[in-house]
């Protein structure tokens, strides 16, 4: 099982790059809200207009001018970008051990989870336990999932995290159809609020 932070990008089909960079900038200056991007697409069907949402970490590094604009240049194109929406999200950070229920019976899972908990209580580092027991690729990182937003994980996993405090060790599971996922979770950080931004882009192909 692998969790991947997904940046959502919606593409608008195009037939050509007919606009200039100045025209792109002028058009984006006129809009303020995300819903106006659809009107811009309809008004300029041959322009390459894209909506992109940046992750919290990326959002922190981006700088816009007083009009909410910035330019991105590379070898093939110049991108004019307009900041259109900011959203506050809740993020979590845990380390975990994943036990695959399709590979072993439930009583074996229960026994392993108790064994892991007892070893952790006896001061065995969780990172070592993750490398020893976890069936997830995150085991090589000691089970650390990094920061992830609310809504990314299955509901039972997230609910268990919300119900516990930093440094708590606890169990969670998700069983549905052929998916039998069992977890030992260490909450390594307090929950935090972060900001994501959504932008409109117009791409100008270089001649």
pLDDT tens profile 147-204:
999 999 999 999 999 999 999 999 999 999 889 999 999 999 999 999 999 999 999 8
The predicted structure's pLDDT at residue 8: 40
For residue 207, pLDDT over 90 is answered with no
The predicted structure's pLDDT at residue 89: 95
For residue 97, pLDDT over 70 is answered with yes
For residue 43, pLDDT over 80 is answered with yes
Average pLDDT (73-95) is 95
Q: How far is CA 50 from CA 189, 190, 203, in A?
A: 35, 35, 8
Nearest-angstrom CA–CA distance, 78 and 166: 45
Percent of all residues in the chain with a pLDDT value above 90, rounded to a whole number: 81
Q: Which residue has the higher pLDDT, 151 or 2?
A: 151
Tokens of 40: 């811009």
Mean per-residue pLDDT over the chain, rounded = 90
Q: Which residue has the higher pLDDT, 47 or 17?
A: 47
Average pLDDT (18-29) is 86
For residue 3, pLDDT over 50 is answered with no
Residue with the two structure tokens 């975990």: 96
Nearest-angstrom CA–CA distance, 80 and 200: 8
Average pLDDT (97-108) is 95
Intervals of CATH 3.10.50.40 along the chain: 90-193
Domain 90-193, CATH among 2.30.110.10, 3.90.1150.10, 3.10.580.10, 3.10.50.40 = 3.10.50.40
Task: Give the model's confidence band at 18: pLDDT under 50 very low, under 70 low, under 90 confident, else very high.
Answer: low
| pTM greater than 0.85 | no
Q: Which helix (H) or strand (E) holds 109?
A: helix 106-121
Neighbour count for residue 44 (Cβ, 10 Å): 18
The predicted structure's pLDDT at residue 21: 84
Strand pairing category for 179-187 and 169-176: antiparallel
The predicted structure's pLDDT at residue 4: 40
State CA 56 to chain mean position distance: 8
The predicted structure's pLDDT at residue 167: 98
């Amino acid at each position: 099982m692998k969790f991947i932070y997904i940046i959502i990008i919606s593409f608008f089909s195009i037939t050509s790059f007919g606009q200039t960079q100045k025209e792109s900038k002028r058009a984006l200056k006129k809009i303020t809200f995300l819903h106006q991007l659809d009107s811009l697409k309809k008004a300029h069907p041959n322009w390459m207009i894209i909506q992109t949402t940046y992750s919290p970490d990326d959002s922190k590094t981006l700088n816009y001018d007083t009009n909410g604009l910035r330019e991105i240049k590379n070898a093939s194109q110049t991108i004019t970008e307009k900041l259109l929406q900011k959203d506050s999200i809740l993020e979590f950070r845990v380390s975990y051990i994943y036990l695959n229920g399709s590979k072993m019976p439930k009583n074996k899972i229960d026994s392993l989870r108790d064994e892991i908990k007892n070893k952790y209580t006896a001061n065995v580092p969780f990172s070592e336990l993750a490398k020893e027991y976890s069936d997830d690729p995150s085991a090589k990182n000691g089970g650390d999932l990094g920061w992830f937003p609310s809504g990314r994980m299955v509901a039972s996993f997230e609910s268990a995290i919300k119900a516990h405090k930093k440094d708590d060790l606890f169990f969670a599971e998700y069983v549905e159809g052929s998916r039998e996922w069992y977890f030992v979770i260490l909450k390594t950080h307090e929950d935090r609020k972060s900001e994501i931004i959504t932008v409109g882009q117009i791409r100008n192909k270089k001649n």
